[in-house]
Amino acid sequence: MKIKRFDQQADKFFIYSLYALSFGLPILIPYWHSVLVASVIVCWLFVRKPSGFISQIKSERKMIMIFSGIFLINILGLSYTKNMGYGLSIIEGLVPLLVLPVIILTSQSQISITVARNIIIAFIAGVLTLNLATLVFISYDFWDPKRLEANLLVANNSVLNVHPIFLSLHISFGFFFIADSYFPLPITDRNKLGWILFSSIVLAVYLVWINSRVGIFGFLMAFIFYVFYRFRNVKRVYGSIVFVLFIVFLLMIPFSRSRFLEAPIMLINQPSGIEHRSSVTRNFSYRGDIYRCCLDIIKGPELLYGYGTGDFKDVLQECYNRKNYSWLSEEQLDSQNEYFAEIHRNGLLGLLLFLSVLVVPFSYAMEFKSPLFAVFIILFGITALFENVFNSQKGVTFFALFCPLLYIYTKQNWKEKSARPI
Domain ranges of the chain: 1-47, 60-110+288-422, 116-250
What pLDDT, on a 0 to 100 scale, did the predictor assign at position 355? 95
Helices and strands of the chain, counted as H and E runs: 22, 0
CB 312 within 8 A of CB 83: no
Task: Determine the Cα–Cα distance for residues 357 and 377; give it in Å rounded to an integer.
Answer: 9
Residue 104: name the closest of 420, 397, 418 by CA: 397
CB 312 within 8 A of CB 276: no
What sign does the CA torsion over 353, 355, 405, 109 have? negative
Angle at 121 between CA 61 and CA 105, to 5 degrees: 10
Q: Report the length, in residues, of the chain.
A: 422
Crossing angle of the two packed helices 30-47 and 393-419, in degrees rounded to 10: 40
What pLDDT, on a 0 to 100 scale, did the predictor assign at position 117? 95
What pLDDT, on a 0 to 100 scale, did the predictor assign at position 155? 53
Task: Determine the Cα–Cα distance for residues 176 and 179; give it in Å rounded to an integer.
Answer: 5
What pLDDT, on a 0 to 100 scale, did the predictor assign at position 420? 66
What pLDDT, on a 0 to 100 scale, did the predictor assign at position 268? 65
Phi/psi at 411 (nearest 5 deg)? -65, -40
Q: What's this model's pTM, rounded to 2 decimal places?
A: 0.91
Residue 375: name the closest of 228, 237, 249, 259 by CA: 228
pLDDT 10s digits, 259-312? 777 767 766 666 544 444 455 556 667 788 888 899 988 888 888 888 989 888
Distances (CA, A) of 408 to 58, 70, 370: 15, 21, 11
Burial class (CB in 10 A: 0-12, 13-18, 19+), 162: buried
What pLDDT, on a 0 to 100 scale, did the predictor assign at position 132? 83
The runs of H, that is alpha helices, within 231-337 are: 233-252, 254-257, 263-269, 279-296, 302-305, 312-322, 326-331
Residues of the chain with pLDDT under 50: 140-145, 159-160, 272-277
What pLDDT, on a 0 to 100 scale, did the predictor assign at position 142? 46
Task: Determine the Cα–Cα distance for residues 293 and 205; give it in Å rounded to an integer.
Answer: 36
Task: Determine the Cα–Cα distance for residues 103 and 45; give it in Å rounded to an integer.
Answer: 9
CB 345 within 8 A of CB 80: no
Task: Determine the Cα–Cα distance for residues 304 and 198; give it in Å rounded to an integer.
Answer: 50
What sign does the CA torsion over 86, 376, 339, 307 have? positive
Listed in sequence order, the residues at least 6 apart from 96 whose beta carbon sits closer than 8 Å to its beta carbon are: 33, 37, 393, 396, 397, 400, 401
What pLDDT, on a 0 to 100 scale, did the predictor assign at position 136? 67
What pLDDT, on a 0 to 100 scale, did the predictor assign at position 226? 96
Distances (CA, A) of 196 to 10, 20, 170, 193: 32, 22, 17, 5
